[in-house]
Amino acid sequence: MATYTLRKVLSLIPMMLFISFLIYLGIELMPGDAVDFLIPPDALATMSAEQLNAMRESLGLNDPFLVRYLKWLGGLLQGEFGYSIQSGVPVATLMKNHLPATIELTVTALVFSSVFGVLFGVLSALKKGSLIDQVFSLIGMAGVAIPQFLLGLICINAFALHLNILPAGGRMASAGQSFVERLPYLLMPALVLGFSLTAGVMRYARSSMLDSMGRDYMKTARAKGIPEWRVNLLHGLRTALTPVVVLIGFRLPMLIGGAVVIEEVFQWPGIGSLFVNAVRSQNTPLVMMIGFFSVLLVLISSIIVDIVTAFLDPRIKLS
């Protein structure tokens, strides 16, 4: 297990190098550069070519593409994340300010969707074809079909404007406030995001559980005379869980960049809106850093998924 993990982690390095290069290339291929977005359009018209060139020079934008990439990489290796071109604020500070909000939101949504997805999915499977199964199916379909922003707006309209029981958006700064005080702000965005994520887990858990319930070993378990709940929840669920855990595991990368739409709708000061703005204004250092962490999380998730599945299913060997 330890050697496996070590080998996997080491294999991350070339992968990260390659992917970061691709992201850098992507930004490079976009038309225009950061200076075009730094200066308001009316001011841009009055500036001379020399002035613009001097600005580019000072930002290091005139260096060849490869040189700039290697400089960025060199900085990263020294723990230097660079500065936002727009605001001059260190990227590390920006991340530190925005990341907790996003993680708070996505973790809540992920936990919510995983717990209820598995619960409802298993319940649907056990009561296949019943009213409760059909109701859950309908809710699940709605969760997939209704766009997040629409559901978000409907919820704001209902709970904030009409019922007036939850704030319409924003987030209370975490300093000095207890979690209970901050909860109302978190509730709506997290539940809207969680709702749309639940459906997938639910359908997956249902079909996986149904598959498991049809297996021969379930009959063996019944033939042993053990109680029905134990047959279903121990023999059935335990085997059905593996694919569901894989699905949930591959959702971990959402922790960083998965809530862009919801963050916009609910004015949630997370990393999503920061990222969108950074891409729009070709703020290379910021885009690179957020992209870098997202990719890292994807790769780490896949290692975690490997380890967890090997733990859940003895037939799978880590090698």
Per CB under 8 A, does 314 bind another protein?
A: yes
Enter the DSSP assignment of 209: H
How far is 216 from 185, CA to CA, in rounded Å?
49
Contact letters for another protein, residues 254-293 (x by CB under 8 A) = ----------------------------------------
User: Any idea which residue has 């037939």 for tokens?
Assistant: 315
Determine the interface stretch with another protein among 6-14, 68-76, 201-209, 227-235 (rule: CB under 8 A).
Answer: 227-235
Phi/psi of residue 90, each to 5°?
A: -60, 140
Which residue, 32 or 129, is less far from another protein as judged by CB? 129
Which residue among 138, 228, 233, 280 contacts another protein (CB under 8 A)?
A: 228
How far is 277 from 318, CA to CA, in rounded Å?
41
From the CB of residue 190, how many other CB atoms can be counted at a distance below 10 Å? 25
Strand, helix or coil at 87? coil
| Measured CA distances, 30 to 17, 25, 280, 281 (Å) | 21, 9, 10, 10
| Measured CA distances, 156 to 22, 132, 161 (Å) | 39, 28, 7
Tokens (6 digits) for 315: 């037939």
Question: Which of 271, 262, 274 is CA-nearest to residue 150?
Answer: 262
Which of the residues 64 through 123 are near another protein (CB under 8 A)?
none
Which residue among 222, 260, 297, 310 contacts another protein (CB under 8 A)?
A: 222
Which residue among 66, 220, 233, 280 contacts another protein (CB under 8 A)?
A: 220
Question: Which of 238, 242, 243 is CA-nearest to residue 218?
Answer: 238
Contact letters for another protein, residues 187-216 (x by CB under 8 A) = ----------------------------xx
Task: Determine contact, residues 218/289, Cβ cutoff 8 Å.
Answer: no
Task: Determine contact, residues 249/77, Cβ cutoff 8 Å.
Answer: no
Task: Determine contact, residues 1/304, Cβ cutoff 8 Å.
Answer: no
Which residue, 158 or 316, is less far from another protein as judged by CB? 316
Which residue among 221, 255, 262, 286 contacts another protein (CB under 8 A)?
A: 221
Which residue among 7, 71, 96, 219 contacts another protein (CB under 8 A)?
A: 219
Least distance to another protein, CB of residue 237, Å: 11
Contact letters for another protein, residues 229-258 (x by CB under 8 A) = ------x--xx-------------------
Task: Determine contact, residues 24/72, Cβ cutoff 8 Å.
Answer: yes
Which residue, 242 or 283, is less far from another protein as judged by CB? 242
Phi/psi of residue 253, each to 5°?
A: -55, -20
Question: Which of 61, 64, 70 is CA-nearest to residue 32?
Answer: 61
Per CB under 8 A, does 174 bind another protein?
A: no
Per CB under 8 A, does 227 bind another protein?
A: yes
Determine the interface stretch with another protein among 35-43, 77-85, 115-123, 309-317 (rule: CB under 8 A).
Answer: 309-317
- Counting residues that bind another protein (by CB under 8 A) gives 20
Least distance to another protein, CB of residue 174, Å: 41
Least distance to another protein, CB of residue 3, Å: 22
The site for another protein (CB under 8 A) is made up of 215-217, 219-228, 235, 238-239, 312-315
